[in-house]
Amino acid sequence: MLKENLQNIENKICEACSVSGRSREDVTLIAVSKTKPVEVLQEAYDLGVRVFGENKVQELADKYEALPKDIRWHMIGHLQRNKVKYIIDKVELIHSVDSIRLAETIDREARKHNLTANILIEVNVAGEESKFGVAPDELDAFTDEIAQFSNIRVLGLMTIAPFVGNAEENRLIFERLRKLSVDIAGKNTHNITMGVLSMGMTNDYEVAVEEGATMVRVGTGIFGERDYSHV
């Protein structure tokens, strides 16, 4: 099941790369393993998966302890400032930075560990009230401010597109995020590069790849439906 799902997604990513003239190596598949038990992650690991995405600090820290150390963990969920310290030395990338106060905390905790934290700025492209993220028209000022933190490296942007019936409906959202990243990159701000675009989930990752995603976050498509009744 896991094996077929991974193969299926791999094929679709390859196809999306080929129709958009992109190279497969430019897209990282993040296996979003939230709510799934360690055994299932181990199974994915045995099939070659090395990049996992989690959205809860405690869960990520527990799985980090239990699983092989060559896994690259990505924090993709909303992050509370008081919990940054539990994951700062465990994650390769934090996708969900949406406030200067959070950035300040990440910077401070990173300095304590003598490391530079890699982050993405989460942008609420669609302007959905229920979603976290910096508003597109605030992004310019936000990046100017975040540049002051010497233990943070901004690698790009992330967005969570709306849940839609037809993935095509999100194409403009992905295109907009890419354009925003081009605008920010053009400013050549200290500590800020825009090589990473984290966009696309199970329902729309192919469209996201066609529009320039360098990271897609796929959960259900790999692991099946999530069961929230025990968590």
Ligand X SMILES: *Cc1c(COP(=O)(O)O)cnc(C)c1O
At 68, list the tokens.
Answer: 């092989």
How many CB atoms within 10 Å of residue 114?
8
Q: Is 36 exposed, middle or buried (0-12, 13-18, 19+ CB in 10 A)?
A: buried
CA distance 94 to 151: 13
* Residue 119, strand partner residues: 94, 154
Of 110 and 201, CB closest to ligand X = 201
Of 115 and 135, CB closest to ligand X = 135
At 18, list the tokens.
Answer: 């080929």
From 1-9, 40-48, 133-141, 198-206, span contacting ligand X (CB under 6 A): 198-206
CB of 190 to ligand X, least distance (A): 28
Residues 70-129 that bind ligand X (CB under 6 A): 76-77
Of 33 and 151, CB closest to ligand X = 33
Of 149 and 223, CB closest to ligand X = 223
From 123-131, 145-153, 173-181, 218-226, span contacting ligand X (CB under 6 A): 218-226
Q: Judged by CB under 6 A, does residue 32 bind ligand X?
A: yes
Q: Judged by CB under 6 A, does residue 160 bind ligand X?
A: yes
CB of 147 to ligand X, least distance (A): 25
CB burial readout 168-183, b (16+ within 10 A) else e: eebbebbbbbbebbee
Q: Judged by CB under 6 A, does residue 55 bind ligand X?
A: yes
